[in-house]
């Protein structure tokens, strides 16, 4: 199949995507290379090169054309290069033959099953991993909407125990279980909704989910009327929303007793570390 790669400066990605997505019926993949992002379009319906150049406009750094394998497994393998997260973590694809060789001395997680969200290439996953790496609290941990289970796996690797993970999608539950096995960590993965269940009373919770799911989650957190914040987590890492929803969502977490300690805004996405207010 035809494949076009468009390299643009990271700061211009959202603006270019606004113009590309309406003309790319098969979607656009993003590969984050730090200061530069590569947008990849594949398939028979990719627009003509001149149209793509116009859509990229002045943000265009380079455009290259090629042919990708007809086998989706091959294409996926080619997409999954090591992802480096600030703080010394590397995420490797278990499929890539060079995985072991690419591992350096830092912390490494191998995602043998990437059939769910959370391979580290999305800014929300990367920001949540960074916030978790910086956390000096330990105890129980819940990954609410776990996808590949990458946040739970990092938590278990850092010494959190027990580590719980929940996702409504059976494919995510399977992926998280097999990824945990691949990394030799113990995680209890449950299929279900995040706003019910025992996970919310863990010491640290992470939820990289859409705004509506945060609303349901925050509604179930302990009210600030409990002076010691009993029942609430000692820290929450939240993401999955943009600046438009951030004030409302972080405001409702605050009303539930969790105040913003660190906020990361990256490529149109927000991630925040919340801790109990004093
Ligand atoms: C954006 S992905 C995040 C995956 C991973 N935690 C990460 O940070 O990359 C959100 C995940 O939450 C799950 N999810 C969304 N709403 C949910 C809900 N109400 N209950 C359980 N899982 C939910 C989705 O199936 C998806 O796997």
Pocket of ligand 1, candidates 126, 209, 218, 273: which has the most ligand atoms within 8 Å of its Cβ, to mutate? Answer: 209
Q: How close is the Cα of 44 to the center of ligand 1, in Å?
A: 31
pTM over 0.85: no
Q: Which residue CA neighbors atom 4 of ligand 1 most closely?
A: 147
pLDDT in tens, the chain (278 residues): 899 999 999 889 889 988 998 898 888 888 777 788 889 898 888 999 999 999 999 999 999 988 877 776 666 666 666 777 877 788 877 655 344 444 555 688 888 766 788 888 788 999 999 999 999 999 999 999 999 999 999 999 999 999 999 999 999 999 999 999 989 999 999 999 987 767 778 999 999 999 999 999 998 875 554 555 556 899 999 999 999 999 999 999 999 999 999 999 988 899 999 999 86
- Residue 42 near residue 2, CB atoms below 8 Å: yes
| Measured distance CA(184)–CA(186) in Å, rounded | 7
Between the CA of 208 and the centroid of ligand 1 the distance, in Å, is: 6
Residue 13 to residues 87, 138, 263, Cα–Cα distance (Å) = 24, 36, 21
- State if residue 151 touches ligand 1 by the CB under 6 angstroms criterion: yes
Q: Assess whether the C-beta atom of 128 lies below 6 angstroms from ligand 1.
A: yes
Q: Residue 116's CB: how many other CB atoms inside 10 A?
A: 21
């Amino acid at each position: 199949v035809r494949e076009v790669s468009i390299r643009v400066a990271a700061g211009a990605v959202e603006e270019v995507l606004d113009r590309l997505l309406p003309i790319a019926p098969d979607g656009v993949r993003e590969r984050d290379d730090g200061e530069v992002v590569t947008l990849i379009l594949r398939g028979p319906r990719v627009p003509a090169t001149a149209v793509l150049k116009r859509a990229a406009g002045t943000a265009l750094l380079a455009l290259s054309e090629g042919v990708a394998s007809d086998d989706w497994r091959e294409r996926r393998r080619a997409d999954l290069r090591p992802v480096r997260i600030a703080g010394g973590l590397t995420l490797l694809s278990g499929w890539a033959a060079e995985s072991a060789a690419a591992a350096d001395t830092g912390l490494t997680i191998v995602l043998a099953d990437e059939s769910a969200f959370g391979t580290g290439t999305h800014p929300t996953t990367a920001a949540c991993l960074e916030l978790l790496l910086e956390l000096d609290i330990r105890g129980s941990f819940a990954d609410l909407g776990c996808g590949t289970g990458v946040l739970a796996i990092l938590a278990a690797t850092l010494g959190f125990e027990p580590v719980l993970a929940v996702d409504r999608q059976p494919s995510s539950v399977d992926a998280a279980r097999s990824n945990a096995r691949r990394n030799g960590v113990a995680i209890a993965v449950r299929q279900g909704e995040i706003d019910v269940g025992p996970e919310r009373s863990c010491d640290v919770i992470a939820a990289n989910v859409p705004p509506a799911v945060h609303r349901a989650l925050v509604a179930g957190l302990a009210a600030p009327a409990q002076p010691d914040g009993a029942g609430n987590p000692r820290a929450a890492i939240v993401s999955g929303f943009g600046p438009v929803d951030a004030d409302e969502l972080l405001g409702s977490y605050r009303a539930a007793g969790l105040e913003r300690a660190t906020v990361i805004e990256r490529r149109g996405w927000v991630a925040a570390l919340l801790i109990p207010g004093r």
